[in-house]
Structure 1
Amino acid sequence: MNTLDNQTLLKYTKELRTWIEEAYEQYQKGKAEEEYPVYDFYKDIQPAIDKFDKQMEEWLTTAISFVHQVKPRYLHQDQLDAVKENGKEVVLQSYFGKQHATRVKNLVESVIYTLNLLIEEIKKRS
């Protein structure tokens, strides 16, 4: 994998981390209000999830390729797959707020931890 690919993966990973952080902020704001805001499924939620899925697929393919090539000690494909699943759950919960706050917080921390590990591994090789 050349430097350009690593730099692109680094950029995507940082963007993904920001996206998860912003989704968590939206979740927390919604939980803090008397009633959770009502979002239109087709106007708000579906486009956000579609965009997330598309960007996640591109990121995941590149991230898995990177991990298979460099074989970092503390980062594996299962963790990247979990980022996809847990990240999508966080984005969904940012609109619905049905999960307990502790569960969402744990999902966010898990995703951010793995993304930070990947960022560090990419930086080591750039």
Structure 2
Amino acid sequence: MDNQTLLEHTQELRIWIEEAYEQYQKGKAEEEYPTYDFYTDIQPAVVKFDKKMEAWLTAAISFIHQAKPRYLHQEQLEAVQENGKEVVLQSYFGKQHAPRVKNLVESVIYTMNLLIEEIKKRS
């Protein structure tokens, strides 16, 4: 994956995380959390997210091994994958406490923004 494609994928995934967080907040604001069907709503969304995230992670790790940015490491990118998946899941269930989900979102977006800056420096 070239740098421009990685940049686009990173921006798409960041938007996806932001939208999942908005969905989580809307659900928390309502009296009763909306119900979703596991097989028609949740599973397809998580599988799609996993596939995109897996391709992104491979390309992002490859990029940081080549570019060797000072403040961005493989462990952070792997955490983005795990935390991003947690945010997407919580957007449907809303069982985690709001501060925990907010921290996950902020962590994911912060790391993705670092990656975006590094890619732009080298484009």
Give the alignment's TM-score, normalised by structure 2.
0.99
Q: String of CA shifts for 1:45-82, please: whole Å, max 9, x gaps.
A: 00000000000010000000000001000000000000
How far apart, CA to CA, are the structure 2 residues paired with 1:59 and 1:106?
22
Matched, 1:74 2:74: no
Matched, 1:14 2:11: yes
**Residue 84 (1) aligns with residue 77 (2):** no
SS at match of 1:98: coil
CA shift for structure 1 position 26: 0.1
User: Residues of 2 paired with 1:72 and 1:55: CA distance?
Assistant: 23
Aligned length: 123
The match for 1:103 is: 100
Structure 2: segments with no counterpart, 5+ residues: none
TM-score (norm: length of structure 1): 0.97
Unaligned runs of 5+ in 1: none
Q: State the distance in 2 between where 1:68 and 1:103 align.
A: 30
Superposed displacement of residue 6, structure 1? 0.3
Which segments of structure 1 move beyond 6 Å, counting only runs of 4 or more?
none
How big is the alpha-carbon RMSD for the aligned residues of Structure 1 and Structure 2?
0.7
